[in-house]
């Protein structure tokens, strides 16, 4: 059965692509057959994949055929879908019908929280998600888990009944890796030692069996 993850937040600059590429890299490193799809017309994920060195765990893109809709390549076990800013309405509803888990990257500023609140409310009210029992969770981006801002973010999300899977610190390591088609999970462990533990909650949740809507 195909496991599918949607990385979504209508606010630009929330860290969607960073989260999507690294989740794909993590799943590929675990031995899964992974597709990283981009719902943006610019297809930046596909361009990132062109930079990915040979010999690393393979991450594929959409299977594109003339006059046919894009679809995961044959044999895909895990699909990670990156989304553009401003995704809403019918397009959002259509995508939500196709996935079993949604991860919302969220920075801990007041403006980001306010801009994302309506989106989270929309997800929680979406009939397709309730019917499929789709899991929804939040990841704090560019934040120190020890700060007051992180606690405010966690309190906000818990008020909605959603799990916070973790907090990814503000570091250039993601930018530097992405420039070479790499993810955190492709780097020497010593270089990523401060960041890998921050992914454990995401990894556990992504691999957890059972019905969606289930909180770790």
CATH of the domain at 10: 3.40.50.300
Q: What is the pLDDT of residue 16?
A: 93
Q: What is the pLDDT of residue 130?
A: 67
Q: What is the pLDDT of residue 122?
A: 85
Provide the domain limits for residue 80.
3-207
Residue 152 lies in a domain: yes
Q: What is the pLDDT of residue 200?
A: 96
Q: What is the pLDDT of residue 123?
A: 86
Within a 10 A sphere around the Cβ of 158, how many other Cβ atoms? 12
Residue 214 lies in a domain: no
Q: How many domains does the chain have?
A: 1
Residue 124 lies in a domain: yes
Regions of the chain where pLDDT drops below 50: 210-216
Distance linking the first and last C-alpha atoms of the chain: 21
Structure confidence by residue, pLDDT tens digits, 167-186: 999 999 999 999 999 999 99
Q: What is the pLDDT of residue 49?
A: 94
Q: What is the pLDDT of residue 40?
A: 75
Q: What is the pLDDT of residue 211?
A: 40
Please name which of 42, 5, 45 lies closest in space to residue 27, comparing C-alpha atoms.
Answer: 5
Residue 212 lies in a domain: no
């Amino acid at each position: 059965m195909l496991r599918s993850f949607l990385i979504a937040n209508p606010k630009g600059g929330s860290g969607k692509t960073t989260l999507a590429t690294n989740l794909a890299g993590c799943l590929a490193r675990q031995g899964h057959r992974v597709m990283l799809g981009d719902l943006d017309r610019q297809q930046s994920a596909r361009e990132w994949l062109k930079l990915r060195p040979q010999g690393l765990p393979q991450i594929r893109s959409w299977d594109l055929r003339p006059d046919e809709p894009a679809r995961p390549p044959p044999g895909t076990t895990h699909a990670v879908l990156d989304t553009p800013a401003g995704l809403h309405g019918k397009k959002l509803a259509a995508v939500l019908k196709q996935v079993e888990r949604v991860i919302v990257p969220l920075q801990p500023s007041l403006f980001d929280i306010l801009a994302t609140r309506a989106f989270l409310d929309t997800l929680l009210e979406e009939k397709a998600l309730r019917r499929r029992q789709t899991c929804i969770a939040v990841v704090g981006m560019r934040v120190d888990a020890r700060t007051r801002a992180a606690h405010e973010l966690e309190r906000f999300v818990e008020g909605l009944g959603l799990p916070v899977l973790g907090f990814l610190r503000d570091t250039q390591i993601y930018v530097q890796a992405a420039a070479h088609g790499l993810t955190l999970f492709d780097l020497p462990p010593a270089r990523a030692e401060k960041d890998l533990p921050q992914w454990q909650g995401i990894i556990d949740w992504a691999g957890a069996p059972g019905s969606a809507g289930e909180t770790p």
